[in-house]
Structure 1
Amino acid sequence: MASAEEDGIKILSWNINGLKSKFKKQEVFDTFNEYDVVLLQETKIGKPDTGTKKKDDDDWKIIKKLSDEEYALEKLEDLEFNEDETQQETMYMTYFSSNSRGVAILINKPHTLLSAFSEGGDYAWVHVDIGNQKYTFVSVYCCGRDQNLICNVMLKIFYSFLTNAVDALNSRLVIGGDFNTTLDPKLDANKEIKAHSAGRARLTECMTITKLSDIWRKKNDSKRKYTYFHNNETKSRLDYVFMLKKDENYVINCDIHNEIKLSDHSPVSLTLKVNNAYTNPEE
């Protein structure tokens, strides 16, 4: 597990393309253990999709690590938010469908859970305190059905701040996800993908309204690197880590890991400073 005190807090966002099928792969756990927080998309955990499942039916599960071999499973509505209780290694996941969608948030650091929310299999977030710093971690899988998804998520997060008395100004927001569109048609794909134009326009508009920053692009300006490869022909950057523009100074680095080949998507990593010292975002 990464040492946040020495190296900053290390975060990974990854479309895993089916988590259950990879549970037996040691490489998956080796990768998870290198990071303090892991945001997963397309976990495909849940009951078989019969077409009759309600969106909010058992859609949120919490797996707590009690010991090296023992875990506890809870529903969100049974969870008590206690600022004096420290959680250990915990995975917060949607329980939606074994066929598609689904997200999860794995926290490998001792933390205090302040609030949590999930709706369906498209997104989830947790407000936590790690080392006396508040964070909001969000995992999003935008499969194209809802082009307003990111704006809706942001509105609900801000509403949650207000209703749960979370200190929004001091909480660092990190959104990781697969948004199924390119932000820059020239830099984020090796050829034109016309189907992305509508989603791109809406996502860009939502980012402007909510003042979100594409952190990898911020750090890599005009560089080309892709997160999704289709039939060895189409290459595109569909997976992003977003933060509020006001928090860009806390970023140490942001990388795309094409060397990790356990999914059809490459993960994106982010390292943040854990103290109040700023990093010049222009460097």
Structure 2
Amino acid sequence: MAKSTGNSLSIITWNTCGVKPTKHSPNKLIDIMNFGKKQKADIIFLQETHVGPKGYNYINEVRGWTSYFTVYSPNSKGVAILVNKKLKPHYEYICHDEDYAGGYIVLFCQMHGQLFTLVNVYNHKEDKQVLGRLSQYLQEMKIGTLVIGGDFNTVLDLDFDKRTASEHRRHTSLRPLLQSFISSLNLQDTWARLHPTEEAFTRSQSTSHSRLDMFFMQQDKAPFAQSCEIHTDSGISDHNPVSLKIH
């Protein structure tokens, strides 16, 4: 369990496939936030919120959390960053920015006296441009410690991050774009760094299992990541949440 102790930060990234009530999850957003509380999360990245222009209050009025979010569009599906108000004595908002197409949101802030650039990404399978835009933006604008999380809709290691009954392990056209994005910003996959020999997945469909949801930090700051865990018992979405603890 990711706990906030001393000057540490606990961040969760999760593709929740919507936050509005459903037949199978009538209290979906409450359940999502209760999971965050159970994990003692300071910050939560949500992807595919499905929040449109008429429903933004679903994200805007989450009790105990400050919300920054994009409004739903067919390609972006909506992303949000939520900051636990319990962090307030150690948190100072600077500004936030978002992709014009809604594929990412960037929060510039100071926590525990350190500058951070927090980035939440939903890399839609039809969007071949978002990571290029984000790379260019961050090369010019990032400050302090850069933490990027989200659903990238592709795997990095075809042999390790994907298991399928099919002999044909076709990778999507997004994979080289993600590899280029990582290289351009000198990033490191925190799960792979901390679990070099462990196989785990964040999404399962029938006989196919993939690790699509990831956290990245720049290589010089990567050692500050104390733990990165994939939680498989949420039951809220077809994606598993991933938690990151930074010292």
TM-score strictly above 0.5: yes
Contact 1:252 1:272 in 2 (8 A): yes
Deviations 1:53-111 (Å, cap 9, x if unpaired)? xxxxxx9x98377xx6xxxxxxxxxxxxxxxxxxx830111122489610000011212
SS at 1:249 equivalent: helix
TM superposition shift of 1:145 = 2.4
TM superposition shift of 1:141 = 0.4
May I ask how many residue pairs the two structures share in their alignment? 233
Residue number among 152, 158, 181 corresponding to 1:179 in the alignment: 152
Contact 2:7 2:112 in 1 (8 A): no
Q: Following superposition of structure 1 onto structure 2, how do residues 20-169 of structure 1 map, counting pairs within 5 Å?
A: 20-21=20-21, 24-25=27-28, 26-33=30-37, 34-47=40-53, 63=60, 89-97=65-73, 101-108=77-84, 109-110=87-88, 111-119=91-99, 120-161=101-142, 168=143
Contact 2:188 2:217 in 1 (8 A): yes
Contact 1:44 1:99 in 2 (8 A): no
Greater Cα offset, 96-105 or 35-44:
96-105
Contact 2:188 2:219 in 1 (8 A): yes
Question: Is 1:207 the equivalent of 2:182?
Answer: yes
Q: Which structure 2 residue ranges, 5 or more long, are not aligned?
A: none
SS at 1:151 equivalent: helix
TM superposition shift of 1:200 = 1.1
Alpha-carbon distance between aligned partners in 2 of 1:7 and 1:182, rounded to the nearest angstrom: 32
Residue number among 233, 239, 242 corresponding to 2:216 in the alignment: 242
SS at 2:173 equivalent: helix
Contact 1:147 1:203 in 2 (8 A): no
Instruction: Determine the structure 2 residue equivalent to 1:85.
Output: none
Query: For residue 12 of structure 1, what is the amino acid of its counterpart?
Result: I
Rg (Cα) greater in structure: 1
Percent of aligned positions that are identical = 30
Label 1:7 to 1:222 Cα distance change in 2 as closer, same or farther (>3 A). same
TM superposition shift of 1:260 = 1.5
Deviations 1:108-130 (Å, cap 9, x if unpaired)? 12122112111232110100111
Contact 1:13 1:267 in 2 (8 A): yes
Deviations 1:116-165 (Å, cap 9, x if unpaired)? 1112321101001112111111110001223342232122123234xxxx
